[in-house]
Structure 1
Amino acid sequence: MLSQGFLNLNKPYNWTSHDCVARVRKLLRLKRVGHGGTLDPAATGVLPIALGKATRLLQYLPEEKAYKATIRLGVRTTTDDLQGEIINSQACAELNLAQVKTALSKFQGKIEQIPPSYSAIQVDGKRLYDLARRGEIVEVPVRTVEVFHIEILDWREGDFPELDVAIACGSGTYIRAIARDLGAILETGGTLAALIRTESSGFNLTNSLTLTDLETQLQAEIFQPISPDVPLQHLSSVTLPLTAAQKWCHGQRISQTFDVSGIVRVYDQQTRFLGIGQLQDEVLIPQMVFEAIS
């Protein structure tokens, strides 16, 4: 069975990303399994899983992500989602959609964001969620993130109104922090009520597999990993003739004229994906050799 490439997994509710990796490793009987872009246990949706040598390609995946989120206003929690303890709760039935739209517009573009206290970010080598669970108060560093687009999908009035939004953003953006900060601007409090990741690192929810789907395909012996270069289409590509391809696969630099630059996908003339290279001054330097040819 082919076991080099990617799995576009639809992460189930209440599973950690690590849980998913462990399950896939067991199902495929494969040691080298990794994931891209951690999802909180309460979130579902796209979790890219790398299999075999493809784990070394995770660093080259595109960073853009997209989510569908439900934000509940009038509530603040310790974790900025419904998994935490309620810090404050106040009915805000008078809040209207026009006010929410005005406040939400402040979250588009490059914004400064303080990640939630319960997150996987490290401060002095320790995870924030570990520090928070021990009751240690630390200063969480502000980070600059980018939100490309926010679209309001639905608005439900009530004592604790809820807002459904679609968000397209760059890597490192915390949707929980957007929910919290939206509530702060509106002076009502806000928390994340539900989250689905619809796109991540070149994969989308439409083509994802659940763990049950994966088990079914494995039992029927029809599972095929996604080719390793499929999510790398954002990178330019170069094609090498046979002799140059052989040398490159053995770690040698190739000097010739190319019409692209930077990090690139490398192929041979039979369109085999050989790996990732970096072009510097018309010299192709191996970065990750995926498949060697003799």
Structure 2
Amino acid sequence: MARKRKFGRPIDGVILINKATGMTSNDVVQKVKRLFFASKAGHTGALDPLATGVLPICLGEATKFSQYLLDADKVYESTFCFGVATDTCDSDGQVIEQVDASALTQAQVEAALVQFRGNIEQVPPMYSALKKDGQPLYKLARAGIEVEREARKVTIHAFDILDFSAGAIAQAKVRIECTKGTYVRSLCDDLGRLLGFGAHVSSLKRVATGDFLLENAYSLAELTEERGEEKAEVLDHHLLATDAPVWRLPKITLDDDSGYYFGRGQAVMDKEVYHIGEEGDTVRVFRAAGDFLGLGEITDDGRVTPRRLVVR
């Protein structure tokens, strides 16, 4: 049987997308693949359809290092509405409770936020992509089934009010700096419960993923307009390097011979190792010509052994 022909070109790198509301993260991935005519692409941490903001998309060999962005800290700006609770904890859901929140003050919200800073545990919402016995929780929730979810440890580095509006439906615009796996909708729901009012998220924007900022991201509309009727290569200048997800890791440059053997999966000895790190450290490995070869680990005898290789 003939091998199925692979769609697209082997283009490598990272593109920062400013995701629009109403789209799933997978929608964005598929559109980026078509715009760049890429054979392989993947996102680095899903955003809810309601959410907007920075969504790094890895193309080609860069997908091998996407986990580093999945694990990176995130920064969000969100609007919490107090007085109305929904089944999804956001404005896309059905209203399940409504009370007058006119008595709520900014000072009360400020005081309550103290309990949500630092290391906390939160229970993921039913409307999430987490799985229970192989089934996404959101599918169970749509079927009216609620299951017990185990609390997860997350760290909230900062949780601050940017603006507050009192009223029957009080609103607080907040900024949250947090570790991976934090559910802003759960923070909102838990905060509302603590204050005695139902609450939901009416807007959510991710302004940073690790070192990647929203201000440097492109909308799909901008990229579509720029490409027009041209070939996909016209967009390549927007791509960050293949090693962008791991750029903070120490860099080691091998001579041509060592680079050759490293690229074929063999551990190599190099005098530069002793100046770069210690045993067990992960490093970015380059060939003298400038090619990124992948990630290596420093061993106890001063060698660099391959851990994740770029294939060319």
Same fold (TM over 0.5): yes
Give TM-score scaled by structure 2 length: 0.89
Find the aligned partners of 1:130 and 1:283 in 2 and give their Cα distance: 49
What's the counterpart of residue 53 of structure 2? 45
What's the counterpart of residue 288 of structure 1? 308
Alpha-carbon offset, residue 278 of structure 1: 2.0
Q: Is 1:276 matched up with 2:295?
A: yes
What's the counterpart of residue 260 of structure 1? 277
Matches within 5 A, 1:20-35: 20-35=28-43
What's the counterpart of residue 217 of structure 2? 208
Alpha-carbon offset, residue 60 of structure 1: 2.6
What's the counterpart of residue 163 of structure 1? 172
What's the counterpart of residue 198 of structure 1? 207
Question: Given the alignment, which residue of 251, 255, 265 partners 1:241?
Answer: 255
Matches within 5 A, 1:1-294: 3-61=11-69, 63-219=72-228, 221-224=234-237, 225-256=239-270, 257-258=273-274, 259-261=276-278, 262-281=281-300, 282-290=302-310
8 Å Cα contact 2:10/2:39 also seen in 1: no
Q: 3-state DSSP class of the match of 1:164?
A: strand
Find the aligned partners of 1:47 and 1:217 in 2 and give their Cα distance: 19
8 Å Cα contact 1:237/1:264 also seen in 2: yes
Q: Structure 1: where are the runs of 5+ without partners? A: none
Find the aligned partners of 1:137 and 1:182 in 2 and give their Cα distance: 21
Find the aligned partners of 1:44 and 1:245 in 2 and give their Cα distance: 41
8 Å Cα contact 1:214/1:223 also seen in 2: no
Find the aligned partners of 2:292 and 2:22 in 1 and give their Cα distance: 36
Q: When the two structures are aligned, how many residues end up with a matched partner?
A: 292
Q: 3-state DSSP class of the match of 2:66?
A: helix
Tell which deviates more after alignment, 85-94 or 58-67: 58-67
Q: 3-state DSSP class of the match of 1:120?
A: coil
Q: CA RMSD in A?
A: 1.7
Give TM-score scaled by structure 1 length: 0.94
Q: 3-state DSSP class of the match of 1:194?
A: strand
Give 1:102's aligned amino acid.
Answer: A
8 Å Cα contact 1:267/1:275 also seen in 2: yes
Taking only the aligned residue pairs, the percentage that are identical comes to 36
8 Å Cα contact 1:273/1:291 also seen in 2: no
